[in-house]
Amino acid sequence: MLENMSDKYTITKYQDGQFLDVEDVIVNEFPLTIFVNDMEFATMVCTPTHFEEMVVGFLASEGVIRSYNDIHSLSIDESRGYAYVMLKVNMTTNQEYYSKRFIGSCCGKSRQFYFHNDAKTAKTSMSNTTISATQSIALMNQMQSSSQVFLETGGVHNAALCSPDEMIAVRTDIGRHNALDKLYGYSILNRVPVRNKIIVFSGRISSEVLLKAAKIGVGIVLSKSAPTDLAIKLAKDLNITAVGFIRGKSFNVYSCPERIID
């Protein structure tokens, strides 16, 4: 799958007062349209890897399915950019909020679209997992150094599902919400218990990212970047430990600090 993430292009580079023709690695961007029960549901602009995980995670995140058992069939037509999902049950969410929506790679869905089903799908964390400061910094360093595509292009987000001691799965995407959906789909497809797990994330902790973490079911989110004020408020409401600015040997804890131990 790694070969689908980027391509090489000849570009013009300006450096030290002159123009040079050089080869550069550019991250790929791919639109995937999801059909649910033969109706167009959403188009997601993503990095073209782990499609099945992303579709499953996205549908679970939006409350369309509760488990993989709700899916009768799922097929991906990569040549056309289509994902076809047939459910065993009728959709329980109001489809007018989803029909033919476009979800770009730079940010999440509109606030109106995003918040309609959060009350049903976001979970207050009951996690008793703790992690040390040293482990938090080590997991961030391990995730960042493991992403060859990020090192080559600088154009993707990384997200990892971890225990305090090790990374379990790492997913990469141009859209930070897509990377989290891929992790959610991974946990569903592989029946990985998530209550005692941690999400390590390269991007900022927005309200959307925090709610995605709540829907997945983890109690700790570790980020290299900053949180927003709404994300902090939601983290406190949902009993999630939000840690930001993990850089070098320092970080900031914004909510539920009791899970970060010395």
Q: Which amino acid is at 241?
A: T
Distance between CA atoms of residues 11 and 14, nearest Å: 10
* 1 exposure class (CB count in 10 Å sphere: 0-12, 13-18, 19+): exposed
SS3 content of the chain, % helix, strand, coil (to 5): 30, 35, 35
Q: Considering 46, 107, 162, 256, which one is annotated as catalytic?
A: 107
Distance between CA atoms of residues 238 and 235, nearest Å: 5
DSSP annotation string for 92-135: -S-GGGTTTEEE-SSS---HHHHHTTHHHH---------EEHHH
Q: Known catalytic residue: 106?
A: no
Q: Cβ(25)–Cβ(155) under 8 Å?
A: no
What is the per-residue burial (b if ≥16 Cβ within 10 Å, else e) of 77-88?
A: eeeeebbbbebe
Q: Which residues are catalytic?
A: 107
